[in-house]
A and B are shown apart, each in its own frame.
Chain A
Amino acid sequence: RKEVEQDPGPFNVPEGATVAFNCTYSNSASQSFFWYRQDCRKEPKLLMSVYSSGNEDGRFTAQLNRASQYISLLIRDSKLSDSATYLCVVNPYNNDMRFGAGTRLTVKP
């Protein structure tokens, strides 16, 4: 079983739609959680950290459920520019990171 698992998609949604991604992790001792965004053939960039209480940044909302060991990302009012691959990232140990394989999102006009 992979340490971090994501639905690979692709998710194809129209502009303005709401889309949600889920991610599960296997190490219950994991401490830090993130969502990164990666455009085609580019480097990953931090989208947002995920806090236990949940957090929101504009159209993006991240949730963490430690009991069930999953993380979610909700994107509201999708824009064409949201098209990318979204990487779920978990920090199970100091100075280590485990990346999910990513979920690909395409937002269409």
Chain B
Amino acid sequence: NAGVTQTPKFRVLKTGQSMTLLCAQDMNHEYMYWYRQDPGMGLRLIHYSVGEGTTAKGEVPDGYNVSRLKKQNFLLGLESAAPSQTSVYFCASSYAGLAGADTQYFGPGTRLTVL
């Protein structure tokens, strides 16, 4: 099993450009999440999904959109990138929801710089 994979690993964008980050998991997990990690702030939840075809907002959803067309994939889109979106983005998945105290498995991260 590859676990949780993310593409790309690194990306540099100019302000106003768009891009999509791809997360894939091969563990048949129902729940998937997108976080961003900034220095001194810890990880913050952007969006999450509780199953194929569903998405929900997290703590910091503005400027991002997501889609979960297939159970194994969770896409994060930036329509018009801003320097404030420079961050490390982590995808995670879990078998059950977090209220059930289920373990989250994280991908290796995508380092995004917006100039």
Query: Which of B13-21, B68-76, B79-87, B93-101 has 4 or more CB atoms under 8 Å from chain A?
Result: B93-101
What is the 8 Å Cβ interface bit string for chain B, positions 12-38, against chain A (1 contact, 0 not)? 000000000000000000010101000
* CB of B59 within 8 Å of the partner chain: yes
Interface residue count on the B side (C-beta < 8 Å): 25
What is the 8 Å Cβ interface bit string for chain A, positions 89-103, against chain B (1 contact, 0 not)? 001011111111110
B85 vs chain A, min Cβ distance (A): 18
- Nearest B-chain residue to A42, judged by Cβ: B108
What is the 8 Å Cβ interface bit string for chain A, positions 1-25, against chain B (1 contact, 0 not)? 0001000100000000000000000
What is the 8 Å Cβ interface bit string for chain A, positions 74-101, against chain B (1 contact, 0 not)? 0000000000000100010111111111
A91-B99 in contact given A42-B108, A96-B58, A96-B59 (Cβ < 8 Å): yes
Contacts of A8 in B (CB 8 A): 40
* CB of A32 within 8 Å of the partner chain: yes
A38 to B44 alpha-carbon distance, docked (Å): 15
A and B contact pairs by CB, cutoff 8 A, 26 listed: A8-B40, A31-B99, A32-B98, A32-B99, A32-B101, A41-B109, A42-B109, A43-B106, A43-B109, A44-B43, A46-B104, A91-B98, A93-B99, A95-B48, A95-B50, A95-B98, A95-B99, A97-B43, A97-B45, A97-B98, A97-B104, A98-B42, A99-B42, A99-B43, A101-B42, A102-B42
Contacts of A102 in B (CB 8 A): 42
A87 to B48 alpha-carbon distance, docked (Å): 20
Contact B98 A43 (CB under 8 A): no
Contacts of A101 in B (CB 8 A): 40-42
- Nearest B-chain residue to A44, judged by Cβ: B106
Residue ranges of A at the interface with B (Cβ–Cβ < 8 Å): 4, 8, 31-32, 34, 41-46, 49, 87, 91, 93-102
A51 to B95 alpha-carbon distance, docked (Å): 20
With A96-B48, A99-B44 already in contact, 13 other A-B pairs whose C-beta atoms are closer than 8 Å: A34-B101, A43-B109, A87-B42, A91-B98, A91-B99, A93-B99, A94-B97, A94-B98, A97-B104, A98-B42, A98-B59, A101-B41, A102-B42
